[in-house]
Chain A
């Protein structure tokens, strides 16, 4: 039986987040907390693999207590178990410290049930880095497979997986030994509306919550802000670009002006004339 773990994160919806123009800081309260959209695809893919081959899907997150909601969302999608590590000592972690903390939690999960496959979203929408997944893979010493857009085959008996990995002008077909870690593109699947029974189950579900003390062999120096080599030194509003020329006149006149501007770049259209 396959045991698949999806690593997820609760994030502020960066599309809705508002900035305080005076202090140049984010008004986090203005943004609803959501399951990172890329992670929803990772959980969905884990559930699809489970449905194809049998097995169980666990989700793991690190975050403050309200992040339980993100785990419940994953139960709605079809995950079976949820684990959360939550402790002030994790706060302020960059990608290196985050991958360390999650790895310690994964080692504990491994002891409960061995893990065959770890899935992550391509990146989080608040951090936008995509570095935590490969970091976990390196720390567990399993192959990282990033930019995965299709899982072709999982063969637990033979101990391998075949995936399609997106590259700049196409994709690679890669065979890897199990266990391994995939970080998935959003085009890998569509996350459908959750079935009603899952929603009931999610509402009642209580995830396993661990503090640092519940984990084994943790080097405190590698956690949180202390364990983070990168620091955000400065946050600034992007420079206001120089304003361009606003066109005036009737719609027809404005279209005429744009037309003459683009036709000045005549060489762009020479080859295409009349086509």
Chain B
């Protein structure tokens, strides 16, 4: 393999029902930085059905080139069909780096493509950099359950591939009217070549606030002592109108379902207010919540690492503090309500 033959940074653009997944726009921001450092082009790859119009958005968020595979066979995401398109694109245009969102689709596709190429793939990256002269991608991620950070390199193979957690990178400000080179591609692929069919797509009907979209998150950890103790977290979240988060060990203990887990193997969150209650603060958890605008930690142990990561910390007993907080907050809101009435 001649490494010199590979040029450019690519982002796989994930599309759902005609809109681009936010993580893909975030990755265009990260990709732009890498491409500029290397002095190469940034490209987006869009695969789907009737997805060509999305190219303009991809240019506005920083891409110089957009490769589009717009065919009816790509209506639903399926590993085999998408993989064939992306492999075709890689063989034709030889990128040096490809970034994917660490979503169910991105991780699935990246794993399959990396095996077939074959090349190295780093999962769930939280930091990205590139060596200017060698083009070596420095992909860093928490490892061993978040006990350490590791920088992973892929020296001898190209492209270098990584999946990147949503909400860790920042999208650029969209530059209206910015445009670039649109390259339309097609592959010869028949429905009978694909061994899977999507029979149905069922949207979650839950009315609860999703933690990756919540403005306020109240997260609890093992420090709450028991499943019953954890109920306090639900009560505070309800009072504040926020979502409930949890640390990994709470999920593993079965106190709450996995989709509430904040952290490297859970969800990355960026709320305006994040409460970490009874959570000691392993790096695994910290990487999932460190981009919150305001972090408030409550823990009995004054040595807990969470206090190094918070904006405001209280050393104390959650069972004493949360009920007080609930009571005071409810009263404060009622008072505000009265004031508003007065003003009107």
Which A residues are within 8 Å of any B CB, using their own CB? Answer: 12, 14-15, 17, 19, 24, 26, 37, 94-96, 99, 123, 125-131, 133-135, 137-139, 142-147, 162, 164-177, 180, 185-187, 228-238, 240-247, 251-252, 254-259, 261-263, 265-266, 268-269, 272-275
> Are the C-beta atoms of A230 and B294 separated by less than 8 Å?
no
B295: CB under 8 A from chain A? yes
Of the A-B pairs whose beta carbons lie under 8 Å apart in the complex, a sample of 29, sorted by A's number, is A14-B147, A15-B249, A17-B145, A95-B123, A126-B143, A128-B123, A128-B141, A129-B121, A134-B112, A135-B111, A135-B115, A138-B116, A142-B195, A144-B79, A172-B76, A172-B201, A173-B199, A173-B200, A241-B290, A244-B309, A245-B312, A251-B320, A254-B321, A255-B321, A258-B325, A259-B328, A263-B332, A265-B272, A274-B333
A231 to chain B, nearest CB (A): 6
**Bound CA span A164–B203, Å:** 12
**Bound CA span A228–B118, Å:** 10
**Bound CA span A168–B138, Å:** 27
> Are the C-beta atoms of B155 and A251 separated by less than 8 Å?
no
Contacting residue for A167 out of B105, B295, B321, CB 8 A: B105
Q: Which residue of B lies closest to A149 (CB)?
A: B258
Main secondary structure of the interface of B (DSSP, over half): mixed
- For residue B21, which residues in chain A have a CB less than 8 angstroms away from its CB? 168
**Bound CA span A125–B151, Å:** 18
- For residue B210, which residues in chain A have a CB less than 8 angstroms away from its CB? 169
B151 to chain A, nearest CB (A): 4
**Bound CA span A262–B294, Å:** 9
**Bound CA span A22–B143, Å:** 18
> Are the C-beta atoms of A243 and B314 separated by less than 8 Å?
no
> Are the C-beta atoms of B149 and A258 separated by less than 8 Å?
no
A28 to chain B, nearest CB (A): 10
> Are the C-beta atoms of A246 and B307 separated by less than 8 Å?
yes
Main secondary structure of the interface of A (DSSP, over half): mixed
- Which one of B63-71, B226-234, B334-342 is at the A interface? B334-342
- For residue A147, which residues in chain B have a CB less than 8 angstroms away from its CB? 104, 108
**Bound CA span A231–B325, Å:** 48
A255 to chain B, nearest CB (A): 5
- A134-B112, A256-B328 in contact; A231/B153 too (CB < 8 A)? yes
> Are the C-beta atoms of B152 and A238 separated by less than 8 Å?
no
- For residue A242, which residues in chain B have a CB less than 8 angstroms away from its CB? 308
B75: CB under 8 A from chain A? no
B90: CB under 8 A from chain A? no
Interface string of B284-323 (1 = CB under 8 A from A): 0011001000111100000000011111111110001100
B44 to chain A, nearest CB (A): 20
The A-B contact count (CB < 8 A) is 265
A257 to chain B, nearest CB (A): 8
> Are the C-beta atoms of A14 and B145 separated by less than 8 Å?
yes
Contacting residue for B199 out of A174, A259, A272, CB 8 A: A174
- For residue A237, which residues in chain B have a CB less than 8 angstroms away from its CB? 148-149
- A128-B123, A129-B123 in contact; A259/B332 too (CB < 8 A)? yes
> Are the C-beta atoms of B316 and A254 separated by less than 8 Å?
yes
Q: Which residue of A lies closest to B287 (CB)?
A: A238
Q: Which residue of B lies closest to A178 (CB)?
A: B195
> Are the C-beta atoms of A259 and B108 separated by less than 8 Å?
no
Known: A237-B149, A261-B312, A268-B215. 8 other contacts (CB 8 A): A96-B114, A96-B118, A96-B119, A128-B145, A138-B112, A176-B197, A238-B148, A241-B286
**Bound CA span A167–B312, Å:** 35
**Bound CA span A185–B314, Å:** 36
- For residue B264, which residues in chain A have a CB less than 8 angstroms away from its CB? 128
- For residue B144, which residues in chain A have a CB less than 8 angstroms away from its CB? 12, 14, 17, 26, 126
Q: Which residue of B lies closest to A147 (CB)?
A: B104
- A37-B252, A244-B295, A261-B296 in contact; A171/B202 too (CB < 8 A)? yes
- For residue A167, which residues in chain B have a CB less than 8 angstroms away from its CB? 104-105, 201
**Bound CA span A257–B336, Å:** 17
- For residue B157, which residues in chain A have a CB less than 8 angstroms away from its CB? 229
> Are the C-beta atoms of B152 and A170 separated by less than 8 Å?
no
> Are the C-beta atoms of A251 and B108 separated by less than 8 Å?
no
- A14-B147, A134-B111 in contact; A172/B200 too (CB < 8 A)? yes
Contacting residue for B324 out of A146, A230, A233, A251, CB 8 A: A251
B313 to chain A, nearest CB (A): 5
> Are the C-beta atoms of A187 and B148 separated by less than 8 Å?
no
> Are the C-beta atoms of B325 and A255 separated by less than 8 Å?
yes
B46 to chain A, nearest CB (A): 18
**Bound CA span A198–B213, Å:** 45
**Bound CA span A82–B150, Å:** 33
B344: CB under 8 A from chain A? no
Counting chain B CB atoms within 10 Å of each CB, the highest count among A168, A228, A231, A232 belongs to: A168
- For residue A241, which residues in chain B have a CB less than 8 angstroms away from its CB? 286, 290, 308-309
